[in-house]
Structure 1
Amino acid sequence: MFFPLPDFTRDRRLRDALAYITFLLGHEGPGSLLAELKELGYCTVCDVDYFFYSGFGFLDIDVNLTQGITKNTEIVQLLFQYIGMLKATPPDKRIYEEISKVNEIKFHFRDKLSPQFCVKCICSNLHIYSFEDVLCTRALMGPFDADAIQSLFKYLDVNYLSLQVISPIFKTKGIPLQKDPIYGTEYAISNMTTAELANWAKVELNPAFFLPASNEFIPERFALKPTAKPGLEIPELVQSNEFLKVWHLKDSTFNVPKAFYGFFFKSQLVQDSPLNSNLIGLFIKLFYDYVNQKFYSADLVGINYNISTNKLGLEITVDGFNDKLDAFLLAFVNELINFKINPKRSDIVFGLYINSLKVFDTYPISTMLYMYQDVLLTANCWTYDELIEAFPHSTEDKILPLMRNIWANCQVEVLAHGNIDREEAVQLAQKVSQLLTNSMKPYSSSLHVLYDNNRDIHLPSGTSEFAITNSHHENHGFLLYHQMGILNLQHQALLELMHQIISEPYFNQIRMAEQLAYVTFVSQKFTRSGTVGLNILIQSAYELKYLESRVDAFLNSLEDHLKKMPLEEFNKERNALITQISEKPKQMFTFSWNLWKEILLSQYVFDRDTKLVAYLKRFKPSDILELYRGTLRTDNPRCRRLLITIKSAKTKEMQGKFPISGEAAAPKHAEEMPLKEANSGRGNALPQTGNQSSSSIKSEHKGRIKIKHIRKFKCECSLSPIPKIIIDKI
């Protein structure tokens, strides 16, 4: 739904008035338009924003429907009921000043932005605003003007409304459709009936709509707390016992009144089965659906909260201005404890969840490739098919008991970073831990099982291939993973340097010279379970076997490239990587997240970048050559590879456009790279596994394994060593 507007870009008075109206239309708290739409089950999301172009603009209201196109009339009626409430209620100076105050706080304590973004915004603003207002016009608001606000309601009239509905239902309704000549999109245009316009113009006020209350989370105190140890950049373990560990770092680098809290609840129940994975996923979606309305005011002032899962448990992170952040966190945890499932919303959330599983085949090719890679490499990771199979058993009555069991039987690890005192961090961590765990202690033996499950699949020697067919995408997907070793600082630094050296030659050959794909790149793979490797991803119309042959040819040609690389070029690549790694984060949240990742990895190398640089300075060209020979040479019997391919079922439709049928040949301008022999070497490869033969894996030829059943394949492979838990030695 959108209303046309004049261009208010240069009229600050009317632009600020429009910001007030947009704020109220897009509010998500009690009494808002979205709250009523969700209560009636009509939608899940309502986004409101305005846009200005040269001479005109739009007020845009986007609603994600839950019941197709069957409730369009009711949704529009509710919109005009809410607009009617705003017209009948005098503009509220208190709300306007709260909006202005929050904008001012965010402006004064804005995180450092990239130079490119700053230049782009400033140059754009110089064409519109006066020189004095270039930096602050879009952030700071002028004085309250009730007349300006009232004057804008004339544009929110029924006769100006344009309604756009996107739904697959139109094809089944027998509606005559036109087709866009360029993109082929089918659409229909019709006028709204006179009766509809008359009903919307004469709507009565709805008692469900009212203005939002005061925002209790607007920060008031911005003083920086004294630092006991200036210059310290590594968190200290300020509390440690069998069930609670608290890491604390008082910020002395960014000097902003902000804070970050991370809570890691370690429990083997989280990924114990597809059923548990479903139940926890549903809990997170149901809780978000409920708590979004309650804590929308916190979101407005920049308080961010997140709940997610990983292989070892649940993560809760909260960040924002430190003033009132502790009060928000305690309120948030209390809602977690006392949460009750709303039957009116559960059916909708369950439907959205299962639909997200069923449409996995429509996800971007790269997303699907990485998903299958995680499933194939991780001991406890479930496919979408397994989750769908377990969904009928994922009933509402099982969700809350499972969550209570997780809260009561877990180990809690906390990171407090920012404008926070040591005592404050410990006290808050203890309160949150006690509230959620309810003073119940887990069995320590369960933690051993937990870490034992946090292991990667140890790939067998040769190439293990997993192939699927996809009917939604026109391109094929190709992901080749070389498993190269156990995660430690030396291996990580060596792999980072290898990636730095080969990325440009790879791009020049595969992307530019041979033009095999537009989407293709080399990346590193570091898992939380403690293994490292190299990924090569291609999204292309060429045959998959041909893509593999060209990638193998490139990999085998690297030996000559590495042998002939001058020392000056090697030093140049190494110094470039050192410069990149040594660059300090520009924002406190980025630095906080880097610290948090070390806790999630259970490695606690908080100065990882410094140590990586120290290793990089020691490496010689021979180290890279040894790593290459031991892990990337395709004819090395110790090379361990995982090949994941997605074959497009639309291949025949594209035969006239791309050379994908029959025996594919390289583009005429491509240079053939000969495969050369190389001596096998141990390098940094994982230890050799035992016998891999079984009914679930079929050898196509020597060194190649066809994966037919993911679960059976994983059961018959050995596991990588348990990740090193350094905390026990601290």
Structure 2
Amino acid sequence: MLFSQEAAWQRLLLVVVAALALTACSSVDGEAPQPVQSPNDDYQYRYLVLDNQLPVLLISDTDAPKAAASLDVMVGSGDNPSGRGGLAHFLEHMLFLGTDKYPDAAEYEQYITEHGGSRNAYTSFEHTNYFFDINAEFLPEALDRFAQFFIAPRFDAQYVDREKNAVQAEYQMGITSDGRRGLDVLQEVMNPEHPFSQFSVGSLETLADRPDSSIREEMIAFYNKHYSANAMRLVVLGNESLDELEALVTPMFNAVPNRDYQPPQIEAPLFKDADLPLLVQVEPQATSRSLSASFQIPDFRDDYHVKPANYLSNLLGHEGTGSLLSQLKAEGLAESLSAGAGLGWRGGALLSINVTLTEAGAADYDRVLQLIFDYVAMLREAGPQQRLYEEQSALAALSFRFREESSAIGYVSALSSGMHYYAPEDILRGPYIMDDYRADELSSLLEYVRPERALVVFTDKTAMTDRKSQYYEVAYSAQTLAGERVAGWEVPVEPAVFALPAPNPFIAEDVSLVAISEDNPEIPERRLEQQRQTIWFQQDDEFRIPKGALYVNFRSPLVGGTPENAASALMYTNLLQDSVNELTYPALLAGLNFSFYKHSQGVSLRLSGYTDKQEVLLAQLVEAIRSPQFSEDRFENIRRNMIRNLENAVAKRPSSQVIDDLREAILYGQWGEQAIINGLKQLSLEDLQQYSTAFWASATAESLLFGNYTAGAPASLATTLEPLLASGEPVSLPPLEVLKLAPGENLQYTVAVDHSDSVIAWYLQGGGNSYADRAATALAGQVTKSGFFQQLRTEQQLGYVVSSFSWAQLDVPALVLLIQSPSHSAPEVSTAMSEFMARVPGELDAAQFERHKAALVNDLRRPDKNLWERAEFYWQSIAKKQYQFDDKQRLADTISGVALDDWLAYFQQHFLHQAHSLQVVTAGRWGKFPDLGAQRLDSAAQIKADHARYVIQ
């Protein structure tokens, strides 16, 4: 095996070297080096630096249906002035609200939405990143509006208080988020001289005017200091040629002022040596148990050809045989583990090992730390391994070789941020480069991962606490450790239990493309149909990569009929996935993804990635399913972890909890958290084994093969799956069903959410589920999206979460209006929603309506970006029995034919006068519910009992 693996590496490295040689670095007129691109990338790129020292990357895709742009500024919450927590974040909000050239605060959002686009921004510790996409032909106008943010923003005083309220709402929304709460504690215990110790989000208190200074004046001063062309990076993607893009972008963005801002190096350590090792104990809001061990390391971002932190993180986070996680699971101490340098700054980074603990792990987390440091000691003694480094390097290079198209908006946003760290020629391949093995550098990194340098954070309800954090009132304690306890972390584990990863058996050796058969169908066709098996097949003749999607849906009536069956199916898929984790983890590293999960009518198995070793992995998985190795200990740990995760739903964002309640209320066979918890609590391993036997006795399999497969692949797949399936006639399945609201029906579902905010999710079902109903309802979502946000969030300041969207479930269309408000009661929110809906018909003109139609149609007709998007559409079509695979086209055609008058009549009938209405409401601190004459119910079961249903065959 080792010999063949080494041969595979030699072939793979030759492929990678040859591929990279095809795309050598070039320059434009000798002025600037140009990015090296993947041989699988058919975009055209141009890197240039404008006269104002703004670096720009232009991307031309002549077939692009959507254009996109992103500008990243090297400034973030770490740059907030002392005492002004949230100022960088507040500035990000204010930039969207009008410029000298486009003074209307709603104009940018409206223009983007009406032309099929979206826009957003984020503020991190070091970056503020702005981005948008739009139907490609409208890029020039959108880009002009975007450029003005960085040239002449208005910062209108009338919006200052409103956006401070929005920031306050965002802050309050995170009060129950353990992620935000954990960060609040971390910032409180870190070195106060480090700029990352400042409050990030902001609040009414930190953004309040002071006697000697207004927040608006300080914000403008902050903008004028940091928003400098030389500290920005711009990426623009369009369907124009590179010359046309350059001619468009240059005059617009040359006007951005260059203030010659140079982000300062951060000299202060995140933690002082005298404060380490530091043990921080945190009491979470949710019932979560975790342990993290973090270590300050140098800033390796400039050393991206070596990537020492990536090398070490890969070993620390490995999940195969002999790994740290394997031993933690064997001792019943942990459920999962991750590692990486997630937090970085100009001067250093924080390398963290994060462990999700079992109850036993929480009770003995010193043992977890002992195992962590023993594993690190093994790595230190073994020293750097060139074999492992080259394995990581070659897999990363192979990923770049077969880079696939992603969403335009995500692509430009990631590139603009990365441009700060990569040389121009490496902008595209920088995240993939790992071609400079330096044993001394890899060894030196391990010297930072020692007990005396550790920040240990233990999070559990049993945590010993003695104080509360300032902003999120998190109970915690912090203690500098020394002596026997720390020494105990370094006691070697006897006998030795750890080993370096073995050579990866799933690395693709053959990355050639199969020949397309003459009888390859234009859409997937059934290549096999038996009593219990159906296989759909199509070779990919468009994306042409050595990868494929192998999806199998095992349907059974023993999944959604009762909450007990649903709990059993959920437990079974989790336990099976866990039992094969050490087998599938190397496959994941080799670009071969696996998942096994429950859905409404059964369980699905998915393999995706390089096709070369898929058959090998599938055969091993089938054998694991046929002869499962389930231990009582793992069963119990996973069962308890699942129950805990379901109980932790109370810590989710309130608006998310309400949407979950809405979904349960309208979908039959959908069960709430408590019903599943009850099912899990009464489930034993013996029960589960009996359930799995009954499941497979009743199961049928429907599969899809799409990608780089030979014509013989369906027959081979059928043979592999056959041992899992019983013989005989298939068992009939109950249909999928959706609640059917009657015209004029008005229901109110009151739910309890442990949060002070009020939340309303107003579900307005379409008049039916025909293409005409789906088209009219989708248009309702598109037409209301921008105005609902602008009027109820920006103008009325009802809350941070304010959204209107089309929400079809199993193709039953609906419009949902969603608001989470920290400042208004549910009756006030409901009234504002109703008033907005009543204004919609009178505020829509014919030109706007045509733009909204075009936006929807363009999105539906947009070509699939990659093989996986195409496969997902095929798979969903098969599940819905839409075997012509033309659902999107038919819906687009229907939308194109909708006239304004007809749509207005539909809107008024089905969303105003005879609405099919269900409001899901949590009252928050006010304790009040809207009084709209609705029938008030307090359980999803009550709503679904004896109600009409859409039956989805």
Q: Normalising by the residue count of structure 1, what TM-score does the alignment of the two structures yield?
A: 0.84
Q: Is the 8 A contact 1:478 1:538 kept in 2?
A: yes
Q: Report the alpha carbon displacement of residue 29 of structure 1 after superposing the two structures with TM.
A: 0.6
The aligned counterpart of 2:952 is 723
The aligned counterpart of 1:58 is 350
Q: Is the 8 A contact 1:46 1:61 kept in 2?
A: yes
CA distance in 2, matches of 1:12, 1:614: 49
Q: What is the 5 A alignment of 1:63-212? A: 63-67=355-359, 69-170=362-463, 173=464, 175=465, 177-203=466-492, 206-212=495-501
Which residue identity does 1:645 align to in structure 2? V
Q: Report the alpha carbon displacement of residue 533 of structure 1 after superposing the two structures with TM.
A: 1.5
Q: Is the 8 A contact 2:546 2:708 kept in 1?
A: yes
Which residue identity does 1:7 align to in structure 2? D
Q: Is the 8 A contact 1:303 1:321 kept in 2?
A: yes
The answer to whether the aligner puts 1:436 opposite 2:727 as a matched pair is no
The aligned counterpart of 1:619 is 898
Q: Is the 8 A contact 1:231 1:253 kept in 2?
A: no
CA distance in 2, matches of 1:75, 1:701: 56
Which residue identity does 2:315 align to in structure 1? L
Which residue identity does 2:728 align to in structure 1? K
CA distance in 1, matches of 2:682, 2:410: 49
Q: What is the 5 A alignment of 1:7-406? A: 7-11=299-303, 15-50=306-341, 52-67=344-359, 69-170=362-463, 173=464, 175=465, 177-203=466-492, 206-228=495-517, 233-406=522-695
Q: What is the 5 A alignment of 1:381-530? A: 381-428=670-717, 430-437=718-725, 439-444=726-731, 446-447=732-733, 450-451=734-735, 454-460=736-742, 461-470=744-753, 472-528=754-810, 530=811
Q: Report the alpha carbon displacement of residue 126 of structure 1 after superposing the two structures with TM.
A: 4.7
Which residue identity does 2:547 align to in structure 1? K
The answer to whether the aligner puts 1:711 opposite 2:950 as a matched pair is no
The aligned counterpart of 1:682 is none
Which residue identity does 1:642 align to in structure 2? L
Q: Is the 8 A contact 1:261 1:319 kept in 2?
A: yes
Change (3 A) 1:488 1:251: farther
The aligned counterpart of 1:535 is 816
CA offsets 1:30-51 (integer angstroms, 9 cap, x no match) = 1011111111111112111125
Q: Is the 8 A contact 2:532 2:727 kept in 1?
A: no
Change (3 A) 1:137 1:618: closer
The aligned counterpart of 2:295 is 3
The answer to whether the aligner puts 1:641 opposite 2:917 as a matched pair is yes
Which residue identity does 1:85 align to in structure 2? M
Matched position secondary structure for 1:372: helix
Equivalent pairs: percent with the same residue?
Answer: 23
Q: Which runs of 5+ in 1 are unaligned?
A: 653-660, 665-699, 725-730
Which residue identity does 1:549 align to in structure 2? T
Q: Report the alpha carbon displacement of residue 631 of structure 1 after superposing the two structures with TM.
A: 0.8
Q: What is the 5 A alignment of 1:591-602? A: 591-602=870-881
Q: Report the alpha carbon displacement of residue 127 of structure 1 after superposing the two structures with TM.
A: 4.2
CA distance in 2, matches of 1:476, 1:313: 36
Q: Report the alpha carbon displacement of residue 475 of structure 1 after superposing the two structures with TM.
A: 0.8
Q: Report the alpha carbon displacement of residue 539 of structure 1 after superposing the two structures with TM.
A: 0.8
Q: Report the alpha carbon displacement of residue 118 of structure 1 after superposing the two structures with TM.
A: 4.5
- When structure 1 is superposed on structure 2, of 39-48 and 575-584 the one drifting more is 575-584
Change (3 A) 1:380 1:198: closer
Change (3 A) 1:72 1:319: same
CA distance in 1, matches of 2:377, 2:493: 8
Q: Report the alpha carbon displacement of residue 384 of structure 1 after superposing the two structures with TM.
A: 2.5
The aligned counterpart of 2:827 is 545
Q: Report the alpha carbon displacement of residue 295 of structure 1 after superposing the two structures with TM.
A: 1.3
Q: Is the 8 A contact 2:788 2:802 kept in 1?
A: no
Q: Report the alpha carbon displacement of residue 333 of structure 1 after superposing the two structures with TM.
A: 2.1
Q: Report the alpha carbon displacement of residue 205 of structure 1 after superposing the two structures with TM.
A: 6.0
Q: Report the alpha carbon displacement of residue 386 of structure 1 after superposing the two structures with TM.
A: 2.5
CA distance in 1, matches of 2:643, 2:418: 45
CA distance in 1, matches of 2:944, 2:771: 27
Change (3 A) 1:234 1:133: same
The aligned counterpart of 2:227 is none
CA distance in 2, matches of 1:159, 1:497: 60
Q: Is the 8 A contact 2:579 2:629 kept in 1?
A: no
CA distance in 1, matches of 2:470, 2:704: 56
Match of 2:883 among 587, 598, 604: 604
Matched position secondary structure for 1:10: helix
Change (3 A) 1:129 1:433: closer
- When structure 1 is superposed on structure 2, of 369-378 and 122-131 the one drifting more is 122-131
Matched position secondary structure for 2:923: strand
CA offsets 1:547-574 (integer angstroms, 9 cap, x no match) = 2222222223333345xx23x3322221
CA offsets 1:391-416 (integer angstroms, 9 cap, x no match) = 44322211122122222212321111
The aligned counterpart of 1:674 is none
Q: Is the 8 A contact 2:395 2:590 kept in 1?
A: yes
Q: Is the 8 A contact 1:410 1:441 kept in 2?
A: no
Q: Is the 8 A contact 1:411 1:442 kept in 2?
A: no
Q: Is the 8 A contact 2:780 2:806 kept in 1?
A: no
The aligned counterpart of 1:580 is 859
Q: Report the alpha carbon displacement of residue 228 of structure 1 after superposing the two structures with TM.
A: 3.0
Matched position secondary structure for 2:819: strand
CA distance in 2, matches of 1:457, 1:124: 45
Q: Normalising by the residue count of structure 2, what TM-score does the alignment of the two structures yield?
A: 0.65
Q: Is the 8 A contact 1:245 1:412 kept in 2?
A: yes
Q: Report the alpha carbon displacement of residue 284 of structure 1 after superposing the two structures with TM.
A: 1.7
CA offsets 1:244-294 (integer angstroms, 9 cap, x no match) = 222112111211111011111221111121111111111122122222222
Matched position secondary structure for 1:632: helix
Q: Is the 8 A contact 2:505 2:586 kept in 1?
A: yes
Change (3 A) 1:203 1:708: closer
Which residue identity does 2:862 align to in structure 1? E
Change (3 A) 1:135 1:600: same
CA distance in 1, matches of 2:655, 2:536: 36
Matched position secondary structure for 1:86: helix
Change (3 A) 1:163 1:359: closer
**What is the root-mean-square deviation in Å for CA atoms of aligned residues?**
2.6
Q: Report the alpha carbon displacement of residue 521 of structure 1 after superposing the two structures with TM.
A: 1.2
CA distance in 2, matches of 1:356, 1:718: 33
CA distance in 2, matches of 1:119, 1:96: 29
Change (3 A) 1:233 1:41: same
CA offsets 1:598-655 (integer angstroms, 9 cap, x no match) = 122223352222222222222211221232133111x33xx3211111122x348xxx
Change (3 A) 1:411 1:48: same
CA distance in 2, matches of 1:157, 1:710: 52
Which residue identity does 2:947 align to in structure 1? C
Count residues with an aligned counterpart. Answer: 657
The answer to whether the aligner puts 1:590 opposite 2:869 as a matched pair is yes
Q: Is the 8 A contact 1:457 1:719 kept in 2?
A: yes
Q: Is the 8 A contact 1:410 1:442 kept in 2?
A: no
Matched position secondary structure for 2:752: strand
